[in-house]
Structure 1
Amino acid sequence: MASKKLSLTHKIVIGMVSGILLGVLLQLTIADHPWVDAFLVNGLFTVVGEIFISSLMMLVVPLVFVSLVLGTSALSDPAKLGRLGGKAIALYLFTTAVAISFAIGAALLVQPGEGMDLSSDASFDAEEAPSFGQVLIDMVPRNPIDAMAEGNMLQIIVFALLFGIALTLVGKPGERLKNVFEDFNSVIMKLVMILMSVAPYGVFALMARLFADMGFATIGSLAKYFVLVFVVLILHALVTYPTMLKLLTGLNPMIFLRKLRNAQLFGFSTASSNATIPITLETATRKLGVSNSVSSFTVPLGATINMDGTAIMQGVATVFIAQVYGIDLTLVDYLTVIATATLASVGTAGVPGVGLIMLAMVLQQVGLPVEGIALIIGVDRLLDMTRTAVNITGDCMVTTIIGKSEGQFDEQVYNNPDADLSNETSATASINDTPTKGSTGGS
């Protein structure tokens, strides 16, 4: 009977497509009608969509903190934590460098800005990105409660790591408290399951509002740039990541991509890696078979510093803006762009509007006018949604590679097509019942 029911993926796709079609229909017909704008687009769709986003964000901080504390406390050797961090950061930076190099190469080949006239009234006020030293200082929370209230993910990660280590070292009190955290984690997981059951309606509202608001003239004027960025994003997700996964683990990449559909759809609809953390964590542990002790660390870290999708946008946008303004960049300039964007993926983590801030920083490094960003803002929302789906794919790819290399990975769960979020017992039994896999249970 269960096989005859629509899966969650199918329901989300139906909600997404229905929302897009309705939004396009409204845009082409009665989008300017006051009633449609006030009560439908900026009324019902906005309320339902924002409630959906808020409910996702509601779970992010408690889920990340509890999962990371449990994952850290499960590591009997503290040296593993440093090894995990080193591998994760190295892989995330490597994929970012590959992404922006790929994007620059594609942009030089396609020439998206060729023949386009500069808009004389284009303007953009860039926020200043923090220095690397300030980022290091800001990683340590002065007030962990305040960090949780603000959703500062780097500070939450640091505090959770220290708390988990202390939980392991303190002995019996730590064991008692760990049991409380495991129960807490089970409750949060159930909340995630409840939220996922209403996700198709939230996705429908988000898509309907977006496409009802978006004018097609904006997309048409930047079609070449838009299509190029979109194609490079898709190729990076479907070629670069599966190739790395196959080379470094020997796993079947088609299984990986198939099991990531739900997380990718959530990421696309929310345009937020942080908001999708609960779904990404669930996918990594219950579908891909990575131990909670690894995924609870690498997934939140990836949502914070993994900027592959943004790097692709920056690479294409840099070439596009240079061509529009008639400025020739040298090989040294392009190498500077690659290095700056790669390092900035860590340096600007946690800053609101991080993609545009990073792009402003990159443009300044090679002497391009920051005002050029205004030319691409119109189509950035749709690309931002795709970038988020790509980033989530990268987070799970790195998590799987590290889990496999650390022996914190269950290949039977990975290869099991029934290891689904809707089947909690079968998908997690081998992780939860095998101490050597670093499991903490409940996730």
Structure 2
Amino acid sequence: MKKLALHWKIIIGLILGIVWAILSSQLGWSEFTINWIAPFGTIFINLLKLIAVPLVLVSIISGVANIGDPSSLGRMGGKTLGAYLLTTLFAVGLGLVLVNVIKPGKLVDEQSRIDNRISYEVWAAAEGYQIKDGINYLQEPEFFERAQRITDLSKGELKDASVSEKMKTAEQTREATPLQPLVDMVPENFFYSLSDNGLMLQIIFFGLFFGVCLLFIPNEKSHPVTVFMDSVMEVFLKMVDLVMQAAPFFVFALLAGVVSKMAGDDIGKVYEIFKGLSWYSLTVFLGLMLMIFIIYPLILKLFVRKIPYLGFFKAMSPAQTLAFSTSSSAATLPVTMECVEENLGVDKKITSFVLPIGATVNMDGTCLYQAVAVVFLAQLHMIDLTLGQQLTIVLTATLASIGSAAVPSAGLVMLIIVLESVGLNPAWIAIIFPVDRILDMFRTVVNVTGDATVSTIIANGEGMLRYNEKEDPSETFGVES
């Protein structure tokens, strides 16, 4: 087992975790799994987040301070944000193309879609929205009894606690002033920002502000601070090394817990859930796989010719497998930085600046999923969205992704805002709840791969890329190969 590469150990842990969860459901051991195995998965994510937040801070300060020339900071920042914006637009566009070609919502049983349509019309009438396509099933006598039944169901769905909580959060975001995101970016109390996972943009703002100020004071004053930040960053990276040695076990516990909570002691529940949402899941999955294996490699090949196709994935495999298991690009950030620096040869000045920003503002996988989810839900309710409404989805999903928390399922809150932007019922997010956690794993892999791609391109443009093919990426984490 010692000779096995780290990423293969993690993959084995993933598979064993799923197998254990299925077996425990069939044997009635789900409660044991949730109580005695799943907590180790939570510990794993907590350990990575413990490292990630301070690492983001010190790495940004170190990265900005080591740039040396303030003018190069502005140039690099512009390139970084521009690249992240372009990849996000690519992702949303791809998602809309796929969902309009495959039409997963129209592959569902027609009677179920008619029920959904009546439910939509009841909601639209109650909320004062105009029916988009002019068709009104509620006016047809043959649907009267069914409409009455659907009305009762809709009221029950709206009382769902988890949906209501997310709707409340989205409502606060929607009612904010146009400059509220700018206000939220500047912390009132920086130490409070450090303790709250949702305030990563404030941490990045402080890190950038602190680092820029270091550039403008005399070198004899700034040098001790820069050396200290570099040393602290090395300590956190060593913490990553130690945690990663136990990653296969932690990943096993994490996956066993996730699947067991979905299944309970009846594995048939999982089968039915996935059967009903299979076409939606396949559409999202296809889009995410195209981003990972086609779009990003093409972009990389266009700007960086020296890194081979397989070499890139070999270098990033530890971060990608960890991103899949944790569903958190923030928790994966320390490993992503390690892979990009050690395996792809990107200078620390680039990674410490580009990657923490990417973990917060670059949510390509989330944007693609939001585009597919909104159109799928519309199709499921027999609603045909116009081209203008779909372009609204592109704009809203892109803006909503900026600053979205880099934690599991954070995109669901943003999805509510996207649904409301085209006049659809935000409570529909309950429909895709069952498969969201699994798809979130793949979305996070896309986000992390996109961060690495942009970081490599920026490094190549700045002359800070020193790629050399290595024997095995697991050596990065101190694991014998």
Q: Does 1:101 align with 2:93?
A: yes
SS at match of 2:396: helix
Q: Cα distance, 1:421 vs. partner?
A: 5.4
Q: State the distance in 2 between where 1:167 and 1:322 align.
A: 51
Counterpart for residue 264 of structure 1: 320
What per-residue deviation string (whole Å, max 9, x for no partner) do you get for residues 231-280 of structure 1? 11111111110011111222323211221111011111101111111111
Task: Say yes or no: does 1:238 pair with 2:293.
Answer: yes
Q: What secondary structure, in the 3-state scheme, does the structure 1 residue paired with 2:331 have?
A: coil
d(CA) in 1 for partners of 2:461, 2:383 = 45
> 5+ residue gaps in structure 2?
120-149, 263-269
Within 5 Å, which residues of 2 pair with 1:124-163? 124-125=163-164, 126=167, 127-128=169-170, 129=173, 131=176, 132-151=178-197, 152-163=199-210
The corresponding residue for 2:16 is 18
Q: Does 1:316 align with 2:405?
A: no
CA separation in 2, counterparts of 1:421 and 1:207?
Answer: 22
Q: Is the 8 A contact 1:287 1:421 kept in 2?
A: no
Matched, 1:220 2:220: no
- Does the 8 Å contact 2:56/2:356 carry over to 1? yes
Query: Could you say which residue in structure 1 is the equivalent of 2:468?
Result: 415
1:254 aligned onto 2:310: yes
Secondary structure at the aligned position of 2:419 is classed as: helix
Indicate the SS of the match to 1:274: helix
Contact 1:99–1:308 under 8 Å retained in 2: yes
Q: CA deviation at 1:419?
A: 6.8
The one-letter code sitting in structure 2 at the alignment partner of 1:165 is V
Q: 2:356 aligns with which of 300, 306, 317?
A: 300
Deviation at 1:415, TM superposition (A): 3.1
CA 157–268 in structure 1, closer or farther in 2 if over 3 Å, else same: same
CA pair 419-16 structure 1, distance change in 2 beyond 3 A: closer
Identity of aligned residues (%): 39
CA RMSD of aligned residues (A): 2.1
* Residues in 1 aligned to 2:407 and 2:339: alpha-carbon distance in whole angstroms: 26
Which residue in the other structure is 1:435 paired with?
Answer: none
Task: Note closer, same or farther for the CA distance 1:179–1:351 as it changes in structure 2 (3 Å cut).
Answer: closer
Residues 239 and 257 from structure 1, CA distance in 2 versus in 1: closer, same or farther, beyond 3 angstroms?
Answer: same
Q: Could you tell me whether the CA contact under 8 Å between 1:139 and 1:155 is conserved in 2?
A: yes
Moved over 4 A (4+): 347-353
> Does 2:246 match 1:198?
yes
Decide whether the 8 Å contact of 1:286 with 1:424 is kept in 2: no
| In structure 1, C-alpha distance between the alignment counterparts of 2:476 and 2:86, rounded to whole Å | 35
Choose 1 or 2 for highest CA Rg.
Answer: 2
Farther-moved stretch of structure 1 (274-283 vs 208-217) = 208-217
Distance 1:201 1:47, change over 3 A: same
Amino acid of the residue matched to residue 361 of structure 2?
Answer: I
Q: How much has 1:52 moved relative to structure 2? A: 0.7
Following the alignment from structure 1 to structure 2, what is the Cα–Cα distance between the partners of residues 111 and 180?
55
Q: Which residue of 1 aligns with 2:124?
A: none
Measure, in 1, the Cα distance between the counterparts of 2:226 and 2:370: 43
Gaps of 5+ in 1: 426-443
Alpha carbons of 1:210 and 1:351: their partners in 2 closer, same or farther (altered >3 Å)? closer
Alpha-carbon distance, 1:282 to partner: 0.8
**Which residue does 1:189 correspond to in 2?**
237
Give the whole-Å Cα distance in 2 for the aligned partners of 1:424 and 1:17.
Answer: 22
TM norm structure 1:
0.89
Question: Equivalents in 2 of 1:373, 1:181: separation in Å?
Answer: 43
User: C-alpha distance in 2, partners of 1:392/1:65?
Assistant: 19
Distance 2:74 2:215 in 1: 16
Note closer, same or farther for the CA distance 1:53–1:423 as it changes in structure 2 (3 Å cut).
closer
TM-score, normalised to structure 2's length? 0.82
